[in-house]
Amino acid sequence: MDCPDVRELLDAYALGAAEKREAQQLEEHVADCVRCWEELTQAQQSAALFAFSITLQEPPTSLERRILARAAQERDAALRGSTPLLRRLRISWPVAAGAFGLAGAAALAFTAFLQVQMSDLRDDRDNLMQQVAEARVRLDDQNQIFNVLFDPNQQTKMMPAVATGSSAWGEYHWSKTAGQGVLACHDMPPLAEGEVYQAWFVAQDGQIPAGTFESTDGDCWYPMEPARTPVGLTGVGITREKRGGSNTPGEWLLFASLRS
C-alpha cells in the first residue's frame, strides 16, 4: 500500500470503518511514513470532533448500581445453565465484584483519558475559532482602510503633534462615499507597560472614545468605526491611556481640527 492508497483510507480508518486487512496494511505503512502518520493524526483528531455534536453529561449516580445488578443477573443466569463442574468452581460474589470493580476502574481510567483528549480538542477548537474571529476582524479593518484610501473623493486632514518637541505626526482620512474614516500615525512615542493608544472623536457636545490600539514600531493604520461617528464632528485625536481605555482623554499626542 503506497501513500495515495493510504490517504484514501485515512478518514475511514479514523472512524473505525476500514476493513481489517486494509487497516493492517495502513498501520504497517504509517509506521514507516512520517507524512502519512501526521495526516492520520489529523484525521483522528477531526473524527474525535464529531463528539462535540452531542452534549456531554455526567452519568447518574444510580448507573453503577444498575450495572452491578445487571452483571449479577447475567452471572447467575450463566451459572444456572453451566455444568456441575463449573458450578463447583463458582467464584464467590465478593471476588467477582472485586474483579468487576477492577475492570470498571480500568474503564473509568480510559474514560478519564478520553475526557482529557476531548478537553484538549475542545481547547484547540476554541483557539481556532478565536483565531478565525480575530482574522475576520483584521480583514474587515483592511477592507475599511482600502475603501477609504482608494476613494478618489476622500478627504485628508493632517494631524500634527501636540506635545512640544515630538516628532509624531498623522493623518485622518475620511470617505464620504463609504461613510468611514481611517487614522494614520507615524513616529509615535513608545508605549509604557500597561498603556495603549486611544482614538477620539471630538464633537460639539464633548469627546467620544473611538477605541484603543497598540503599535510596536510607532506607526498605525486604525479604522474609525463609522457607527460611532458623531453628529457635529469637529476633530479627531489620539492620546496615550492605561490599558482598557478611558472615558476622558488625557494629554493629546496628535490632534486634527475638522472645522472648515
Q: Where are the domains of the chain?
A: 3-53, 155-257
Strands (E), the chain: 155-160, 169-175, 180-186, 195-203, 206-213, 220-224, 233-242, 252-257
Residue 194 clears pLDDT 90, i.e. is over it: yes
Cell matching residue 1: 500500500
Q: What is the pLDDT of residues 75-89, one digit of tens each?
A: 666 556 555 544 444
* Cross-strand partners of 196: 241
Q: How far is CA 25 from CA 15, 18, 40, 172, in A?
A: 16, 11, 14, 64
Collapsed DSSP state (helix, strand, coil) of residue 202: strand
Distance CA 200, CA 169 (A): 16
Cell matching residue 100: 468487576
- As a whole number, mean pLDDT of residues 18-31 equals 87
Q: What is the pLDDT of residues 231-251, one digit of tens each?
A: 678 889 999 999 999 999 999
Q: Do residues 44 and 74 make contact, with C-beta atoms less than 8 angstroms apart?
A: no
Q: What is the pTM of this model?
A: 0.49
Residue 125 clears pLDDT 80, i.e. is over it: no
- 155-257 carries CATH number 2.60.40: yes
